[in-house]
Structure 1
Amino acid sequence: MRIESITKIFDCKEDNAVSTASNLLLNEEVIAVPTDTIYGLACSANCPEAIKKLYSIKGRDAAKPVAICVSNISDVRKWGKAEHLQDDLLHSLLPGPVTLVLEKTKYLDNPYLNPQTRKIGIRIPKHEFMNQLTQMLDKPVALTSANFSNEPSSLRIEEFEKLYSRLGAVFNGGVLSNGLEVNRSGSTVIDLSQSGVFKIIRPGISYEKIVEILKKNGLSKI
């Protein structure tokens, strides 16, 4: 661990990194974390004060939605309405660089989380640190890219240094997405809220592969 500005920076491989991150989220902090795509800003999704802090740090319009990270397919079904989606389809997409947009369930009841829509993006990143964190926390983790709004996404922690002083901690997972500029697009975002169809909200990493999986499972593009 080293100190830069007033923010603590942890190596994700440190023995206590996951428990430290979990405790910070439980205490309404916003932290920076690695994912399988880009670095993100994370907080506890059902905590109103944490979500307000997240939007303030990001400089983000409160009308723009953020996604949540969860641990497994049963969590996807708990926080998003996915009765119309087969387990085989969900397991073929997750974990991985895809965000599934579904209707919120009653359990996702933070009035500050995506207040202008009934939908929520849900991710299970294919990343050991994030998977361990969501399992330990046992709550949904709100996640948005670690940058100011409308600025490039970050593949290295040095790229969002100007945010450090406003974060509870930064968790360093090294260079992400092999450092490839093309991969700054982040996850592919797909609306699966309607039965039998899908809508592309944002093409991202593995876009063609994800669309192929959806079509093979009988879904039509709208």
Structure 2
Amino acid sequence: MRNIKKALRILQYGGVIAHATETCYGLACDMTNPTAVAKLFGIKHRPNDMPVSALFTSIEEAKKYVEWNALAEDLATTYLPGPLTLILPLKKNTIIFSCLKSNASSLGIRISSHPIARRLAKEFGKPLSTTSANLHGQPNPYCVDDIVPCDLILDSGNLPEVPPSKVVDCTGQEPKMLRL
């Protein structure tokens, strides 16, 4: 698909793209590029102290960056890929993503079940941001007309209106549901 190749070039050069996920349209940028992340936060009008999650291709890829535990394994085995974000401790001496606060000790990880999100994550080869393609605090976008302006929109038509991903904090002994 020609548009995927164009999207990958835009991501490589610090751009922000919109793409479909299994929950709604999302924004992606290179999480290792501070300029791209700043652009993403500006587009969304998102406060800088609210980190975004990382989109990975697989559990194995995510394990390179976070401390995997039994709780995460149980949830991932049952629900991933799919609409679930797991918050896990960052590995020591790992790249601290520019989308995180300097004192961040954890990272939200997503492994999408949507074929476009999966392909972008796989072909880009580095962690991508994953956040809804709306202004901060506004309703999730399910059609391209509701997406905030960005460098490229991969139009997948109208998406079903489903809830956002569940967010589970797996940094402690017990899971904490942060978003149902």
Q: TM-score, normalised by structure 2?
A: 0.91
Matched position secondary structure for 2:154: strand
Q: Distance in 1 between matches of 2:165 and 2:140?
A: 11
- CA contact under 8 A between 2:57 and 2:111: conserved in structure 1? yes
- CA contact under 8 A between 2:72 and 2:170: conserved in structure 1? no
Q: Distance in 2 between matches of 1:43 and 1:74?
A: 21
- CA contact under 8 A between 1:48 and 1:112: conserved in structure 2? yes
Q: Distance in 1 between matches of 2:72 and 2:99?
A: 30
Q: What residue number does 1:199 align with?
A: 176
Size of the alignment, in residue pairs?
A: 179
Is residue 127 from structure 1 mapped to residue 104 from structure 2 by the alignment? no
Q: Distance in 2 between matches of 1:86 and 1:75?
A: 14
Equivalent position to 1:145, from 116, 119, 132: 132
Matched position secondary structure for 1:55: helix
Q: What residue number does 2:151 align with?
A: 168
Matched position secondary structure for 1:54: helix
Is residue 28 from structure 1 mapped to residue 14 from structure 2 by the alignment? yes
Matches within 5 A, 1:109-128: 109-115=96-102, 117-128=104-115
Q: Distance in 2 between matches of 1:124 and 1:112?
A: 18
Q: Distance in 1 between matches of 2:73 and 2:50?
A: 29
- CA contact under 8 A between 2:33 and 2:98: conserved in structure 1? no
Q: Identity percentage over the alignment?
A: 30
Task: After superposition, give the CA deviation of every residue in 1:135-191 in whole Å (9 maximum; x if it has no partner).
Answer: 11111001111111111110111112xx32xx2111111222x2x3xx2x4100001
Higher helix share: 1
Task: After superposition, give the CA deviation of every residue in 1:104-123 in whole Å (9 maximum; x if it has no partner).
Answer: 22333234434453211100
Matched position secondary structure for 1:135: helix
Q: What residue number does 2:42 align with?
A: 56
Equivalent position to 1:155, from 136, 139, 142: 142
Q: Distance in 1 between matches of 2:36 and 2:118?
A: 20
Q: Distance in 2 between matches of 1:66 and 1:86?
A: 19
Q: Distance in 2 between matches of 1:200 and 1:89?
A: 12
Q: Distance in 1 between matches of 2:25 and 2:83?
A: 13
- Relative to structure 1, the CA distance from residue 87 to residue 199 in structure 2 (aligned partners, 3 Å threshold; closer, same or farther) is closer
- CA-based RMSD: 1.7
- CA contact under 8 A between 2:20 and 2:156: conserved in structure 1? yes
Structure 2 stretches of 5 or more lacking a match?
A: none
Is residue 188 from structure 1 mapped to residue 166 from structure 2 by the alignment? yes
How many Å apart are 1:18 and its aligned residue?
Answer: 2.1
When Rg is computed on C-alpha atoms for both structures, the one with the higher figure is 1
Q: Distance in 2 between matches of 1:80 and 1:42?
A: 20
Task: After superposition, give the CA deviation of every residue in 1:1-39 in whole Å (9 maximum; x if it has no partner).
Answer: xxxxxxxxxxxxxx2222221111111001111101011
Structure 1 stretches of 5 or more lacking a match?
A: 1-14, 204-222
Question: Does 1 or 2 have the higher relative contact order (CA < 8 Å, sep 6+)?
Answer: 2
How many Å apart are 1:91 and its aligned residue?
Answer: 2.4
Equivalent position to 1:66, from 46, 52, 64: 52
